[in-house]
């Protein structure tokens, strides 16, 4: 709700594109909308599901791009007074630049495990929290169970013919597949769209936050209006 306008509905950035992208914290008086430069949007695109079989995340660059353009927004349906969540999509021609953020793959895979623990804690899933404690053994047990759960379908997939023989003993090897596929598609998408792309690493925020922030602002053609929030690693 805090992401929407005063009426509870999502607020499009452009009037001619009602299905997105949308302003974040549209009704928050602490934030002012930029008068120039490029607007930074956030998308996870596709192929990133966590506990899922190959059929849910193996995709080609075209489907990946389509997922990048998808939006989820709140609006009134059929003049109802109750705002409901809807799915939409905006035009790829609206994309003028791209920011590609890359994180160390090992940190990324562990962070995904931490994200599962976070969701289980919020949902009070004590069974899973006890089964997969937040340590090395818990991580390895989680990866091992994922292997047992999905390897039958993986063996049927032509994409995993070589992966299982090469990396089948690597903990959470499917996460590494998703990681490589995601970044390959992200680079391909930027090339196909022929848009200027800023590539930087997640670790840059930790090593040199101010320089990374200034680099991003220059790329977007914007000035800093407010102090940046503290960067907290995930």
Dump pLDDT digits (tens) for 86-142: 889 999 999 999 999 999 999 999 999 999 999 999 999 999 999 999 999 999 999
DSSP one-letter string for 186-226: HHHHHHHHT--EEEEETHHHHH-HHHHHHHHHHHHT----S
What's the pTM?
0.87
The structure tokens 């997969």 sit at 132
Question: How much is the average pLDDT of 170-199?
Answer: 95
- As a whole-number percent, the residues of the chain with pLDDT over 90 amount to 58
Q: Alpha-carbon Rg of the chain, whole angstroms?
A: 20
pLDDT of residue 50: 86
pLDDT, tens only, 6-29: 667 888 888 899 898 988 887 877
pLDDT of residue 99: 96
> Which token pair is 100?
């590609």
Q: How confident is the model at residue 1 (pLDDT cuts 50, 70, 90)?
A: very low
Question: How much is the average pLDDT of 181-207?
Answer: 94
CB-based contacts of 173, cutoff 8 Å, min separation 6: 147, 163, 164, 167
How many angstroms separate the CA atoms of 189 and 184, rounded? 9
pLDDT of residue 80: 60
How many angstroms separate the CA atoms of 197 and 15, rounded? 26
| Sequence-ordered strand ranges (E) for the chain | 70-76, 83-89, 98-102, 197-201
Q: How confident is the model at residue 168 (pLDDT cuts 50, 70, 90)?
A: confident
195 close to 38: Cβ distance less than 8 angstroms: no
Q: Is the pLDDT of residue 234 over 60?
A: yes
Q: Is the pLDDT of residue 171 over 70?
A: yes
Q: How confident is the model at residue 197 (pLDDT cuts 50, 70, 90)?
A: very high
Choice among 36-45, 115-124, 185-194 with the minimum mean pLDDT: 36-45
Give the mean pLDDT of the chain.
89
Q: Is the pLDDT of residue 30 over 70?
A: yes
How many angstroms separate the CA atoms of 95 and 158, rounded? 33
pLDDT of residue 103: 94
113-150 b/e (C-beta count within 10 Å ≥ 16 → b)? beebbeebeeeeeeeebeebeeeeebbeebbeebbeeb
Question: How much is the average pLDDT of 207-221?
Answer: 93
Strands 197-201 and 83-89: unpaired
pLDDT of residue 157: 85
């Amino acid at each position: 709700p805090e992401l929407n306008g005063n009426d509870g509905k999502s607020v499009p950035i452009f009037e001619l594109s009602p299905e997105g992208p949308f302003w974040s914290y549209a009704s928050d008086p602490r934030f002012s909308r930029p008068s120039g430069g490029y607007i930074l949007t956030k998308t996870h695109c596709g192929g990133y599901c966590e506990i899922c079989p190959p059929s849910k995340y193996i995709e080609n660059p075209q489907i990946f791009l389509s997922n990048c353009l998808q939006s989820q927004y709140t609006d009134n349906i059929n003049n109802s007074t109750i705002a409901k969540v809807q799915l939409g999509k905006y035009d790829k021609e609206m994309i003028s630049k791209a920011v590609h953020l890359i994180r160390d793959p090992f940190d990324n895979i562990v962070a995904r495990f931490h994200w599962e623990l976070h969701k289980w804690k919020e949902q009070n899933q004590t069974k899973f929290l006890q089964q997969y404690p937040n340590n090395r053994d818990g991580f390895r047990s989680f990866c091992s169970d994922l292997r047992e759960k999905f390897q039958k379908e993986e063996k049927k997939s032509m994409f995993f013919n070589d992966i299982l023989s090469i990396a089948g003993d690597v903990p959470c090897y499917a996460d590494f597949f998703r990681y490589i596929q995601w970044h390959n598609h992200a680079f391909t998408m930027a090339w196909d769209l022929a848009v200027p792309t800023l590539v930087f690493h997640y670790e840059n925020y930790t090593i040199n936050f101010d320089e990374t922030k200034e680099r991003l602002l220059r790329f977007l053609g914007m000035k800093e209006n407010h102090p940046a929030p503290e960067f907290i690693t995930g």
